[in-house]
Structure 1
Amino acid sequence: MGKGAKSQRAFLVFLVAAVVNVVPVAATEPSMPLPPEEIAWSTAGAEIEAKGWVDGQAATTMAKAELFSDPTISRNPFGLLVRFADSASAFDREQALLLVDGFLVGEPLDGTATYLVETLRNLDDSLAVLQETAGVEWVGFDEVMQATVLPSDPDLDQLWGLNGTYGIDAPGAWAQTLGDPSVVVAIIDTGVDLDHPDLLANLWVNLGEIAGNGLDDDGNGYVDDIHGYDFVNDDGDPNDDNNHGTHVAGTIAAVADTVGVVGVAPDTKIMALKFLDDKGSGFVSDAVLALTYAVNNGAQISNNSWGGGGAEAAMSTMLDTAEVANHLFVAAAGNEANDNDANPTYPASYSQANVLTVASNQSDGALSSFSNYGATSVDVVAPGSGILSSVVGGGYATFSGTSMAAPHVAGVAALMRAVDSSITYASIKQFLIDTATVDPRLTTVAVSGGVINAAAAVTAASGAGPSLSVTATETSVTEGATVTFTAVAADQSSVDVSTQVNWSLDGTALGTGDTLVYSADTPGSMRIRAEVTTGGFTTLVITTLTVIAIVRTVTVSSPNGGEDFAVGEAVAINWTSVGPVGNVDVSVISQISGSMEYAAAAGLPIIDQQTTTMTINVPYSASIATLEVGLRLDHTYDGDLYITLAHPNGTTVVLANYVGGWGDNFGSGAQSCSGSLTVFSDGGEVAVGSGSAPFVGKFQPAEALSAFAGLDTVGDWVLSVTDSADLDTGSLFCTELDFFGTNTLVASGLDVNVGTVEWTVPEAVNASNLMVSVGNDLASDTSDSVFTIAGGPPVTTTTTTLPPTFDASSGFPSTPQDEYLVLTGYFDDELLGVVQAADYLGQSPSQLQTLSVGVLAFLMALAGSDQPDWSTGSPPDISGNNVVQSHFFSLDGTQGALEAVAAATGLTGAQTQKFATSVVVFLILLAMARSS
């Protein structure tokens, strides 16, 4: 399947403030595709087959009847959306249909090659078969879109959105135009009350159709479509039976009279396209048909106050067609108070340039509490709280939601087309962004940084304001540079008014005059705004200035991993730097790492509509200061995935929240922890929602990992990957946890150019894995990997070469071995077991061996009268009897304790040494096996 084959199981809702139920992810095992001849009838399909039916009715009339009786169904029970490849012949299509007993319902939904295919066979199996069929580009379910209950509040301010302090200044636009009847806005919604007195005069009329004669007079494929079409009931009567579409229509184009309300563009025509029924439910196939109808029948703008769910390939394809036709698709941003940058919402988040996404503000200018937002994914803000408009039956009511904000924008776009009939959707979109009234509270809410200004936008489109041009000495500079902007302005009588130009940035005034000298001290992209007002008209010019950050780096050179130091040792910490970093802090931080790889070559399967979990056991106990999470997985269409990490106590952090869209994979290269990982870190430079697949490098997670700060590392951590959609699957290969604990400050405020500082290892630093950190907020670096500190001061030990005393037939060498490399008799590869166990503890084999003997001696001595004293002092000299001394006991009692162990077990000193090491190594390897 190509990447276009997306069809998420989701409910789409009216974008009005309301509580939305979450659709749970199924926990059932996926069914395997069946050969075509074995596809069973669906239960409902078998009933219809037995009774008989007319081709095409099951996926339309019968499906909609079932939806009417049961609004909770999630998809068309008798239909699939199928797009055939451009190269597919009629024979190829016929063969594909035969495989699923399918029937093409009507003409292509998008006018090209996307069809509603009717089949009474099992839909899941039919979809699987068509996915593998030649000539099929993509296939998906015909999902249900479902409306929520509409809220209302009749006590809110009336029409503040048009002329209030934080409204759109519609009167300023009306001074230039009330609209033009040649401009048509399609209301893709629940329909429109065709008899409403405030809407009747502005209904679009299909002049090629004769009302009521039962014929398709204009040959557009629809009968009696005088004012639009009803795709729910498949007839030419798109009357609203819900209220939502009528409310939207009134905000756009209620007539200017003494009755009721007035729309933003009161001389504009509205096309009624009903694809949601009285309960607010409908199929995506009908939404595509509605947009196709709008484009094909001359609507230059459409309002889309509905949303939710995921990206649909059929809708995306039709948006491509609409873009070519210069059609502007205005979409509500959504009502989940969600950051659309991190968690896209559709149709608002489609990437086509003709999609204009709208957030909502309230009457005090602030973002509405329910409104979605997005610094890069939402374009503009418009009034959406407490909006009075028309409803079914000739009345009026107040609703709230981004559903109410979008029609304000659609109306202004219609006014802009009225003053310039040749204007492009791109110009409309850019003018609306550039002329918005900037509000500091909204600068991170939308690209515009403020609420649309109807008067300024229409002026920009008409060119009726004063002339204004701006030049800049540079538009891309390095941080710290100075840029000079020069303005030349003239009023409508060509009188120079350059000195009246006002300059601002994000709503903050920068000065007035024909020049602006700006110090570019903050890296990033900024929009310098110049505006001048004469004769009641305002013209503005936005200049985008890109400020490139000066390169600042710090690189730790030593210790950089692999070194082994002792308490009391003087360690030279060295680094290099580039750029004006300033003073830095130098610290030593403890680190614990845990990782989990799935051993099978194919990885741990990530299955549609299921959650895959990987458990990482961390046996060490330490307090977490910071944490980084490495991830390596392969999956087509990352936007399906919801990824979380849970602490052993249940505390859970969302790492990735349906990010990456059509992109594939997290990490790249080897399908293991040795590949290039996606690393989630609170210190990442880019939020994962703003990144792109395969997300190689460090990214800020959707929720901060600081939620784990202060918790203990020990226990079973769980990485969960939920695939919330159909069609795309994958594999999870690796999860890696890197904990950073105690931070020991070595030096503070040190000139970065010094490049070195000496650190004497204190006794307070226990045996552990450590890393050096050097830097500040501008630049920093840590050691590439860990170095270690022995748990005690440097010591000198005497070693004795001991011959093994076990029978050589047991696999022991017959020649003497160094006491610190004595092999145990309990493993196929004894030496490897010792080395692996020692590495697991961060020790050398010699340290492990002396530890092992000490532990066993201590435990056995506890049972006798000669109790050893526990200390961290140096071991005594070894004297006779082939006894190895432990590092962990004082002189008094130790020799006797070891001799007692040997006597109690009937072993010599060398045998005691090997036995003790075997026991500890065995326990350690058990722990290692459990963690992997």
Structure 2
Amino acid sequence: MRNLFPLKKLALMAGLCLPILAAAQQTTKYKPNWQNLDLQTDSVFGISTEKAYKELLPGKKHVTVLVAVIDGGVDIEHEDLKKVIWNNPKEIAGNKKDDDKNGYIDDLHGWDFIGSAKGDVHYDNLELTRMVRIYNARFANADSTKLTGKDLADFKMYSKMKAELNKKTTEAQQTYDIIKRFNGLIDNVLAKIGSKNPGIADIEKFQPEGGAETYVKNVLLKALPDFKDVADFKEKELKGGMEHFKELLDYHLNLNFNSRDTVGDNYANVNERNYGNNDVAGPDADHGSHVAGIIGAVRDNNIGIMGVANDVAIMSVRTVPNGDERDKDVANAIRYAAANGAKVINMSFGKGYSYNKKAVDEAVKFAMKKDVLLIHAAGNENENTEVELNVPNRTYEDKSGTANAWIEVGASGPMDDATLKASFSNYGKTSVDVFAPGVAIYSTTPKSTYAEHDGTSMAAPVVTGLAALIRSYYPKLTALQVKEIILKSVVKISHNVEIKDGNNKKEVPFTDICATGGVVNAYNALKLAATY
């Protein structure tokens, strides 16, 4: 999820609604590879991966573990990933035949469930938008006074969702207009300064006229330490902000936009399996590549970064567009990964509504039978997921139970203090199992580049990498045993951490925000695994 730091609050100044700099971006530079370091020796709350490699794993045999990354795509040619990308041994490259008879032609490195011969889906709606569109067709001419039973219940839900969609659309339009106007104010100030890219000294010398110019000057002075220069600030935050909210308006919240024609499936047929293409990167592989690198980027090539696991094969199952993933595609992605041998599946995605959770649940049950461990990101809304719905989740909609081989992951930061819970991370006393590093994580991005990202999307693959590491060195362990080991071996947190309580913050015990009350630890987990 994109963090647009100047847009956290709105202030009325000089008759204009303007974005206000609520807090500067993170200027602290953490130690490289901090998520794999050790709290005692390195003073950052990593998971002690390097300590485990140094003290526990030398000379031990290990096997390659197939890990599926269900995401927006992975750059399979990345310099630090290409050696760990899965090559389907039963498929012959480029012959346009389904050699392994699994229903997917030339699926050499995985599959893309949001593409076809026509191309690949880049943007899609939020699930909220799609559901309102479906209900619009059903209730467009309905007389609510004559509805009863399920129809009345659905109509009430529809009314609630429609109001939420209207609110989101209005806020997105207003924020887009605000950023655009603020950008214009900055341009006016720069024109008065006489430079399109002035330095801090030039800005400090500038004598503003009126509240708006004073505000612009203050924002620039606060922001510039976190950017190369004014041009960099404008490019990344203002232009990036406008692009973000334009995408919301044009695609995510737009009832008239529907990307599904690109896929060409019968979307109403949830049992349909064999659609898509073999483009496992897609038009934007940033998020998925970052996730893949955290899990298993090559550790011993002296370039780039070091993944948690040192012997994995990454299967890319492209399912997540710029927008909300669709349940049909998620279900098929889980089935594909499990059927083709994945032992751990990373799912760094989620949403607040589900159109067909049953389909996803059935796929999860299939994965459970295949001894697959599912790792899911808890989400970035700083909400309690015992109260606010975040899907997919381990609880089956038909009340038949839960997926036992499932780990729900919150994001932690590097400091062992009240800020240990990442400010954005969702949490839940029973709905979240563990926390793992998810702040300023440096990993692989497309075209052999690297970048820092924040999110539970980064925390989940830390745990996925750990699960793969355990299954690599102790391949006889079941998915349930690996989960048990990870949960039992956490570093327990004895101090309170900050969470949001309405509009306020409060401090609570770590046991109030996750079931184990701790942060995962590779060293402890591998020591425990050796006793099984």
Q: Work out whether residues 205 and 226 of structure 1, in 8 Å CA contact, stay in contact via their aligned partners in 2.
A: yes
Q: Which has the higher helix share?
A: 2
Q: Which residue of 1 aligns with 2:489?
A: 435
Q: Which residue of 2 aligns with 1:454?
A: 522
CA 334–205 in structure 1, closer or farther in 2 if over 3 Å, else same: same
Contact 2:69 2:314 in 1 (8 A): yes
Structure 2 counterpart of 1:336, from 359, 381, 387 = 381
Distance 2:50 2:333 in 1: 32
Q: How does 1:543-558 map to 2 (within 5 A)?
A: none
- Residue of structure 1 aligned with 2:410, choices 351, 359, 363: 359
Match of 1:268 in 2: 312
* Residue in structure 2 matched with residue 306 of structure 1 by the alignment: 349
Question: Deviation at 1:437?
Answer: 0.6
1:316 alignment partner, one of 341, 356, 361:
361
* Contact 1:190–1:280 (8 Å) recurs in 2: no
Alignment map for 1:69-218 (pairs within 5 Å): 155-165=29-39, 166-175=45-54, 176-177=56-57, 180-218=62-100
Distance 1:348 1:181 in 2: 30
Residues of 2 paired with 1:244 and 1:152: CA distance? 20
**Counterpart position of 1:915:** none
8 Å Cα contact 1:153-1:399 kept in structure 2: no
Q: 1:800-826 CA distances to partner (integer Å, 9 max, x unpaired)?
A: xxxxxxxxxxxxxxxxxxxxxxxxxxx
Displacement of 1:17: 5.6
Shift of 1:180: 4.4
- CA positional deviation for 1:345: 1.3
Whole-angstrom CA distance in 2 between matches of 1:381 and 1:432: 11
Matches within 5 A, 1:578-589: none
Aligned-residue offset at 1:457: 0.5
- Alpha-carbon distance between aligned partners in 2 of 1:180 and 1:287, rounded to the nearest angstrom: 31
Residue 283 (structure 1) shift: 2.5
The structure-2 alpha-carbon separation of the partners of 1:328 and 1:268, relative to structure 1 and needing over 3 Å to count, comes to: same
TM-score by length of 1: 0.33
| One-letter identity of the residue aligned with 1:272 | S
Structure of higher CA gyration radius: 1
- 1:827 matched residue in structure 2: none
- Contact 1:388 1:399 (8 Å CA) reproduced: yes
Deviation at 1:282, TM superposition (A): 4.0
1:562-581 alpha-carbon deviations (Å, 9 max, x no partner): xxxxxxxxxxxxxxxxxxxx
Letter in 2 for 1:169: S
| Contact preservation (8 Å) 2:38, 2:51 | no
- Alpha-carbon distance change, 210 to 154 in structure 1, aligned in 2, over 3 angstroms: farther
Aligned-residue offset at 1:344: 3.3
> Could you report, residue by residue, the CA deviation over 1:23-45 in whole angstroms, capped at 9, with x for unpaired residues?
xxxxxxxxxxxxxxxxxxxxxxx
What is the match of residue 874 of structure 1? none
User: What whole-Å deviation, never above 9, does each CA across 1:505-540 have from its counterpart, x for those lacking one?
Assistant: xxxxxxxxxxxxxxxxxxxxxxxxxxxxxxxxxxxx
How far apart are 1:289 and its partner, in Å? 1.1
Q: Using the alignment, how far apart are the partners of 2:378 and 2:287 within structure 1?
A: 16
Flag the 1:169–1:368 CA change in 2: closer, same or farther, 3 A. same
What is the letter of the counterpart of residue 112 of structure 2?
D
What displacement does 1:462 show? 2.2
User: If each structure's strand is expressed as a fraction of its own residues, which one has the higher value?
Assistant: 1
Shift of 1:463: 2.5
- CA deviation profile, 1:416-442 (whole Å, cap 9, x unmatched): 111221212221111111110111232
Alignment of 1:711-722 (within 5 A): none
CA contact (8 A) 1:412 1:458 kept: no
What is the Cα deviation at residue 409 of structure 1? 0.2
The Cα offsets for residues 266-323 of structure 1, whole Å up to 9 and x where unpaired, read as 221110111123x355422111111110000000110000001235111011111111
Amino acid at match of 1:369: S
Please give the alpha-carbon distance, in whole angstroms, between the structure 2 residues aligned to 1:272 and 1:168: 25
Select 2:371's aligned residue among 326, 333, 339.
326
Offset at residue 207 of structure 1 (A): 0.4
CA contact 1:419–1:461 (8 Å) conserved in 2? no
- Paired with 1:181 and 1:214, the residues of 2 have a C-alpha distance of 31
Within 1, Cα distance between the matches of 2:361 and 2:35? 31
Contact kept, 8 Å, 2:72 with 2:318, in 1: the verdict is yes
- The Cα offsets for residues 649-691 of structure 1, whole Å up to 9 and x where unpaired, read as xxxxxxxxxxxxxxxxxxxxxxxxxxxxxxxxxxxxxxxxxxx
What percent identity do the matched residue pairs reach? 36
Residue identity matched to 1:420: Y
* 1:164 positional shift: 4.5
Query: Which of 437, 445, 462 pairs up with 2:513?
Result: 445
Structure 1 equivalent of residue 302 of structure 2: 258
The residue aligned with 1:395 is 449
- Measured against aligned partners, the alpha-carbon deviations of 1:177-201 in whole angstroms (never above 9, x if no partner) come to 4994531110000111010010000
- 2 CA distance for matches of 1:227 and 1:152? 36
Deviations 1:822-877 (A, max 9, x none): xxxxxxxxxxxxxxxxxxxxxxxxxxxxxxxxxxxxxxxxxxxxxxxxxxxxxxxx
Structure 1: how far apart are the matches of 2:345 and 2:81?
A: 17
Deviation of 1:363 after TM superposition, in Å, equals: 1.1
Shift of 1:375: 1.3
Cross-structure match for 1:289: 332
Q: Secondary structure at the match of 2:80?
A: coil
3-state DSSP of counterpart to 1:250 = helix
Match of 2:15 in 1: none
1:226 aligns with 2:268: no
| Cα pair distance change 1:153/1:229, threshold 3 Å | farther
Distance 2:63 2:72 in 1: 23
SS at the partner of 2:523?
helix
Stretches of structure 2 that go unaligned for 5 or more consecutive residues are 8-24, 40-44, 116-275, 396-401, 497-509
- Read off the aligned partner of 1:324 and give its amino acid letter: K
Alignment partner, residue 21 of structure 2: none
- The CA deviation at 1:157 is 4.1
Deviation at 1:156, TM superposition (A): 4.8
Equivalent pairs, count:
319
- Aligned-pair CA distance for 1:235: 1.4
Cα distance in 1 for partners of 2:442, 2:90 equals: 35
What stretches of structure 1 of length at least 5 have no aligned partner? 1-13, 22-150, 465-932
Instruction: Give the letter for the 1:305 counterpart.
Output: S
Contact 2:35 2:46 in 1 (8 A): yes
Contact 2:310 2:469 in 1 (8 A): no
Equivalent-residue separation in structure 1 for 2:323 and 2:306 (angstroms): 26
Equivalent residue for 1:238, pick from 264, 277, 280:
280
CA distance 1:309–1:180, shift in 2 (3 Å): farther
Instruction: Answer yes or no: is 1:415 the counterpart of 2:297.
Output: no
Q: Find the aligned partners of 2:26 and 2:326 in 1 and give their Cα distance.
A: 26
- Report the 3-state secondary structure (helix = DSSP H, G, I; strand = E; otherwise coil) of the residue aligned with 2:291: helix
Question: Separation in 2 of the partners of 1:331 and 1:197?
Answer: 27
Alignment of 1:880-895 (within 5 A): none
Q: 1:169 to 1:317 in 2, by over 3 A?
A: same
Task: Give the match's secondary structure for 2:512.
Answer: coil
